[in-house]
C-alpha cells in the first residue's frame, strides 16, 4: 500500500470525485521510498478518469509512480504528440491512449494534516469544501 492511512475525509473525496481530476496527498507508507515523495511525509495519489493508466496499473498489479508529462511552467499536454514536443528524447517511451479528457490539471488537496488546497484545477475549491463540509486552508 502506498499510503499509511486513508483519513475519512479522503474517503469522502474519493467517493465524490474518483475517477477524475483530484489528487490527494495522504500519509506516505514506510514501504514507499522517500525519493518518491522528495523526502516528504505525504504521497500524492490519484485515480485518473482514463481507462489506459487504470488498465496498466491493474495489469502490473501495482500503482504507477510518475509525474506530470510536462515541463514545469509549460501547459499540460493533451496528446502524445504534445508530450513528445515538450519532453523530446527525455523519455524512453510514450503510450498513446488518445487525447486526455479535460485538459486541466488535477486539483491537489493535502490531507496529511488539516485539509489544505495545494492547487485548484479540474475540481473547484467550492466543490471540495461542499463535500468535506469545511473550509480548506
Confidence of residue 63 (pLDDT cuts 50, 70, 90): confident
Task: Delineate the domains of the chain, giving CATH numbers in brackets.
Answer: 1-49+105-137 (3.90.870.10)
The two counts, helices (H) then strands (E), for the chain are 4, 4
With 80 as the cut, is the pLDDT of residue 1 above it? no
CA distance 108 to 119: 5
**Which of the residue ranges 5-14, 21-30, 102-111 would you say has the lowest mean pLDDT?**
102-111
Model pLDDT, residue 78: 86
Full strand arrangement of the beta sheet holding 116-119: 42-46, 22-27, 107-110, 116-119
pLDDT tens digits for range 80-137: 999 999 998 888 889 898 888 766 889 999 999 999 999 999 999 999 999 999 999 9
pLDDT tens digits for range 43-57: 999 998 888 889 999
Amino acid at each position: 500500500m502506498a499510503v499509511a492511512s486513508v483519513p475519512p475525509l479522503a474517503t469522502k473525496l474519493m467517493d465524490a470525485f474518483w475517477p477524475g481530476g483530484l489528487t490527494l496527498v495522504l500519509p506516505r507508507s514506510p514501504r514507499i521510498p522517500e525519493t518518491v515523495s522528495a523526502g516528504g511525509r505525504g504521497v500524492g495519489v490519484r485515480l485518473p478518469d482514463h481507462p489506459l493508466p487504470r488498465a496498466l496499473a491493474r495489469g502490473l498489479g501495482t500503482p504507477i509512480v510518475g509525474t506530470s508529462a510536462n515541463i514545469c511552467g509549460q501547459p499540460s499536454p493533451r496528446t502524445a504528440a504534445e508530450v513528445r514536443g515538450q519532453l523530446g528524447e527525455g523519455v524512453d517511451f510514450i503510450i498513446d491512449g488518445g487525447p486526455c479528457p479535460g485538459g486541466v490539471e488535477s486539483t491537489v488537496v493535502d490531507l496529511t494534516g488539516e485539509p489544505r488546497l495545494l492547487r485548484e484545477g479540474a475540481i473547484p475549491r467550492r466543490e471540495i469544501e461542499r463535500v468535506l463540509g469545511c473550509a480548506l486552508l
